[in-house]
């Protein structure tokens, strides 16, 4: 279901641009000698939705806290719209924040909650009310202005939080796991709404999550973090199809990993066979790991395969089935097949093959 179809003037979409909206320059944070964030450089362009993705302890929340001013950096600086804001207090930074727990005022109506940032900025009352009503229409809550937060569902409360953030058109919007408290179906619905809001308003959004599927669905670019460092930055397609490291390959999506080495002829030698690989991904000879996504593997008769193995499990997942195949070396590979393809019995010996350009060899 889609919301917010009313024609409103809030806010004005910004033209597409590669102008840097946010620059985090060699920013770092240490607590008692422990690095919560190592010196990090990050650019966020005007009008883009960049997701900061990573496991717990990777530094993503620390980065967000430094940008919005909740924490002071150990080193480096934060520049927004060309102005150094490193030493500005949080209330003087033109930043909107959407939290996981909504952070709504329970004693204020929905309209009053959305109006609050405008009230703090001393907007005239007629303009304040007009913009707040427009913001509620934007997030699909036009008829709910006189209700209180306790009278709304979790998804509706998060919409109020989004409206409150968008209403005053901040230079930068930070979203800290905003969908983490919602069930899967509602999360997916609000992901669509956030993409629509981003496209409709042209806002610059920094979205923090540990959910890889959420990052792939929402982002213009993804900043993948690990061990208080940036591991890789790129489009969702680049991170999924061309991971730069084994960690990136394993964290973003499901990857099949074959250990081995590139020989002098540019082939990848494994315990289960010698595989052709694309020279550009193989690099120089030496130990490495060949990465292949489950949907790129085809199950064929054993004699026609690049590798052979035995199907040890089959799971049904609606539009697809997942076959788990064990190779002679005991390595297991996951293969995705359309649900309408002929089933393959557990215990059957099969061949596996794929186009060489679908596999990627990474340093070990």
Tell me if domain 20-241 and domain 254-363 are identical in fold: no
Would you kindly state where each structural domain of the chain is located, as residue ranges? 20-241, 254-363
- What pLDDT is recorded for position 26? 96
pLDDT in tens, 271-319: 999 998 875 555 566 788 999 999 999 999 999 999 999 999 999 988 8
SS (H, E, C) the chain: CCCCCCCCCCCCCCCCCCCEEEEEEEEEEEECCEEEEEEEEEEEECCCEEEEECCCCCCHHHHHHHHHCCCCCCEEEEEECCEECCCCCHHHCCEEEECCCCCCCCCCCHHHHHHHHHHHCCCCHHHHHHHHHHHHHHCCCHHHCCCCHHHCCHHHHHHHHHHHHHCCCCCEEEEECCCCCCCHHHHHHHHHHHHHHHHHHCCCEEEEECCHHHHHHHCCEEEEEECCEEEEEECHHHHHHCCCCHHHHHHCCCCEEEEEEECCCCCEEECCEEECCCHHHHCCCEEEEEEECHHHCEEECHHHCCEEEEEEEEEECCCEEEEEEECCCCCEEEEEEECCCCCCCCCCEEEEECCHHHCEEEEC
pLDDT at 265: 81
More confident residue, 323 or 102: 323
Class of domain 20-241: alpha beta
Q: Which CATH number fits domain 254-363: 2.30.38.10, 3.30.450.90, 3.40.50.970, 2.40.50.140?
A: 2.40.50.140
Which of 129-133, 266-270, 285-289, 332-336 reaches the highest mean pLDDT? 332-336
What whole-number percentage of the chain has pLDDT above 70?
93
Kindly report, residue by residue over 62-118, the tens digit of the pLDDT. Answer: 999 999 999 999 999 999 999 999 999 988 899 999 987 878 999 999 999 999 999
């Amino acid at each position: 279901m889609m919301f917010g179809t009313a024609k409103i003037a809030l806010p004005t979409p910004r033209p597409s641009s590669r102008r840097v909206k946010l620059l985090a320059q060699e920013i770092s944070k240490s607590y008692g000698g422990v690095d919560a964030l190592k010196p990090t450089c990050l650019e966020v362009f005007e009008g883009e939705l960049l997701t900061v993705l990573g496991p717990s302890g990777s530094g993503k929340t620390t980065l967000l806290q430094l940008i919005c001013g909740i924490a002071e950096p150990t080193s480096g600086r934060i520049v927004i719209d060309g102005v150094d804001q490193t030493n500005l207090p949080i209330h003087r930074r033109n930043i909107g924040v959407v939290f996981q727990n909504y952070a709504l005022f329970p004693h204020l109506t929905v309209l009053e909650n959305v109006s609050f940032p405008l009230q703090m900025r001393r907007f005239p009352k007629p303009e304040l009310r007009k913009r707040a009503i427009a913001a509620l229409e934007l997030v699909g809550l036009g008829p709910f202005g006189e209700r209180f937060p306790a009278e709304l569902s979790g998804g509706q409360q998060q919409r109020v939080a989004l409206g409150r953030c968008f209403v005053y058109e901040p230079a930068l919007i930070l979203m800290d796991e905003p969908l983490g408290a919602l069930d899967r179906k509602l999360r997916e619905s609000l992901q669509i709404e956030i993409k629509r809001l981003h496209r409709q308003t042209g806002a610059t959004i920094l979205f923090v999550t540990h959910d890889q599927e959420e990052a792939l669905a929402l982002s213009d670019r993804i900043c993948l973090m690990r061990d208080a460092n940036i591991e890789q930055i790129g489009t969702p397609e680049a991170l999924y199809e061309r991971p730069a490291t084994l960690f990136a390959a394993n964290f973003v999506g499901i990857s099949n990993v074959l250990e081995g080495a590139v020989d002098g002829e540019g082939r990848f030698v494994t315990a289960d066979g010698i595989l052709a690989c694309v020279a550009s991904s193989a690099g120089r000879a030496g130990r490495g790991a060949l990465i292949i996504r489950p949907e790129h593997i085809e199950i064929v008769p054993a004699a026609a395969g690049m590798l052979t193995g035995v199907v040890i499990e089959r799971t049904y997942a609606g539009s697809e089935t997942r076959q788990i195949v064990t190779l002679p070396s005991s390595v297991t590979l996951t293969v995705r097949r359309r649900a309408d393809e002929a089933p393959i019995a557990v215990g059957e010996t099969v061949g596996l093959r794929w186009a060489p350009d679908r596999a990627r060899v990474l340093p070990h």
